[in-house]
Amino acid sequence: MVHRVSGSPAPDPDPTSAPVVIVGAGLAGLTVALHLASHRRVIVLAKRQFEEAATAWAQGGIVGVLGEDDSVDSHVRDTLDAGAGLVDEHTARFVATNSAQAIEWLVAQGVPFSGDPQGPLGLHLTREGGHAVRRIAHAADATGKAIHDALLRIARAHPAIDLRERWMAVDLITSRLLRRDESPRCYGVYGLEIASGRVEAIAASAVVLATGGVGKVYRYTSNPETSTGDGIAMAWRAGCRVGNMEFIQFHPTCLYHPQDRSFLITEALRGEGARLLLPDSALPAVGADGLRFMPRHDDRAELAPRDIVARAIDFEMKRHGLDHVWLDASHLDAGFLRSHFPTIHARCLALGIDITRQPIPVVPAAHYTCGGVVTDLDGRTDLPGLYAAGETTYTGLHGANRLASNSLLECVVLGRTCAEHVLAQPRPDRPALPPWDESQVENADEQVVISHNWDELRLLMWNYVGIVRTTKRLERALHRIKLLRSEIDDYYANFRINRDLLELRNLVECAELIVRSALSRQESRGLHYSRDYPQTLPVSFPTVLVRTPRNGRRPKVTALSG
C-alpha cells in the first residue's frame, strides 16, 4: 500500500523530547524525514541551499523491477555482476524486492516520471550499462531533480519538519563527550549556522547522517560542492567503522569543457545507442580497428559496467595522449534526443555543441562513493542513536562497483527502513549538552592556508589515488595526507571554524581512509585497479577500517566476512 506523507502529523506522545536530527537534505535525508514526520518532530540541516543536494544532479533514473520481462532475481544478478564479488546478496535482494514499492511511493509523492501508456505503472523504462533489461524509471534526463523537487516541496509544507538551510554539522555529541558513565551513545550534533558563525548544541533523540559521498576529494568530479564526506568523517571520529572506501566510482562520461567541467553526461545516452569514439587524430594508430574502441575492451561495449568503461577511456587517453574522447549520439533521431535528453541537449548547445549533429567531448570523473559508514538494513551504525542512509553508507549493496541507478533506489528503500527503526525505539533521556567552547580560539588570520591545502589535497588524490593506482603512489599520497591533516588539525584547534575549514577537515579525514583502504587491498577488483596487483583473488572480503584504542586516530584494517 502506498501512503502519501503529507498534512498534519499525528500527535507526538512526548512533545518535550528531542527531535530527530537529519544531516543532509538529499533523497536519503528527505525520505527519512517524510516517513518520520507523521510521528516525530524532525530537524533537517543543509549546509548550502536545499536545491544543491547531489540528488538534484542525478540524471539517469531509479531502478524498479516492474516489467513483465524483469524479475528480482535478474536485478540481483546484475547487481552482483557489477559489484565484482563483494555485494552482499541479502542486501541486494532486499533492495530489489522493495524497488517496485519505492517507485510507487515516489509516484504517490507527485514525482513526474516520463510516461509510456504501454509501460508498467504507465512509466517509460530505459536501460543503462550492466542491466539485462529496461528497468530504469526516469524523468527525461533530470530524474534526480524531479524527485528532489517533489519531496522538498512536501517537506517544506510539513509542520513537523524544521528545514534549516545553510547549517552545517560540526561533530556528533556522544556520551564520551558528556563523560557519562554508560555505554556509548549519540545525543545530538553541534551545528554551525554559517551566516552568523554561531555554533549550537542540538539535542536529538536520534541523528541520521545523509550527507552524500566524498567526490570533492578529487580534482575532477561530477559531484556538487556539498560532497565533502562530512557524515563519513563525523561517524569515523565518533568511533564507527567504515567500509570499502577504496571503491570510488569514476563515471566514464563527464563533459570535457573549460566552462563546464562538472556536468555529467548520463549513462542512459549510451543505453539508447550512443558510441564512444577516439578523435580522428588516433586513426593512424588504430588503423582498420576504427575509432570505436569499447568493443576491443569488453563484449558489452558501451553497456559494460562503469569501472570497465572508465578504465577503457583512461587507457585510450593515455595510450594516444588525448585530453578526452568522443561520445557520439549524432546517428540517433534528432527529435528523440531533444525530447529524451533535453537537459543535456540544452546544456551542450549553450556551449556550442549540438549533440544531434556533433559528438560530445568526455572524460571520466569521480562520481560515487561505494563505501562509507558501516550500517545494517535499518541504517544503524556502531553507535546507538546514530543512523546513516544513502551514499554516506556501506550497506553491501554496491560491492566493488555500483550498478547504475541503484543509488537513488537505495536512498528510498533504506531511508524508509531507517525511519521505521527510529520510530520503533524508546526515546533516550535528554541530558544537558555542553555549549560549544570558543574561549581558546581567535579569528583566522589567513584563509589562503585553507584554499591552498584544499587544492593540494584534491590534486594529489587525482594524481596518486585515481582510476589506476600503484603502491608507490598510494604511499606518497598517505605521507602527504598526514602532513596536511597535521596542518589542518592545528588550524582547527586555534581558529574559529567556518564551512571551508570544516569541509577541508572532513575531506582530509576521508582521503586517509580511501588511501589506507586501497593499500590494504592487494588485488585488482571492481573500481580498485592496482598495477602492482593486477590479478583478482579467487576469494575476497570487504575492507573495514576500525579505530584502534591506542590513540583513537590511527586505523587498523580488518576483514569483514559474511
Tell me the catalytic residues.
Answer: 306
Q: Could you give the CA distance from residue 464 to residue 476 in angstroms, rounded to a whole number?
A: 8
In angstroms, what CA-CA distances link 13 with 9, 41, 387?
12, 11, 22
Burial of 431 (0-12, 13-18, 19+ CB in 10 A): middle
**259 SS3 class:** coil
Order of strands across the sheet with 125-126?
A: 62-63, 136-137, 125-126
- The three cell numbers of residue 111 are 514525482
CB 280 within 8 A of CB 359: no
Rounded to whole angstroms, the Cα distance separating 411 from 156 reads: 19
Inter-residue contact 474 to 509 (CB < 8 Å): no
CA distance 379 to 385: 11
Locate cell 582530509: which residue? 508
- Nearest by Cα to 164 from 28, 25, 26: 25
Alpha-carbon gap, residue 340 to 357, rounded angstroms: 16
Q: How many residues does the chain have?
A: 562
As to burial, measured by CB atoms within 10 angstroms (0-12 exposed, 13-18 middle, 19+ buried), residue 94 is buried
Contact 129, 270 (CB under 8 A): yes
CA distance 395 to 118: 35
> What is the 3-state secondary structure of 393-460?
EECCCCCCCCCCCHHHHHHHHHHHHHHHHHHHCCCCCCCCCCCCCCCCCECCCCCHHHHHHHHHHHHH
CA distances in angstroms from 388 to 21, 73, 546, listed in the order given: 11, 27, 17
Q: How far apart are CA 104 and CA 442, in angstroms?
A: 52
Taking alpha carbons only, the member of 460, 477, 468 closest to residue 532 is 468
Packing angle of the helix pair 448-464, 471-494 (nearest 10 deg):
160
- Residue 412 makes CB contacts below 8 A (sequence gap 6+) with 27, 31, 62, 102, 105, 106
232 alpha-carbon distance from chain centroid: 11
| Rg, C-alpha atoms of the chain | 23
Evaluated on CA atoms 260, 266, 272, 277, the torsion sign reads: positive
Give the count of alpha carbons within 13 A of 120, CB side only: 19
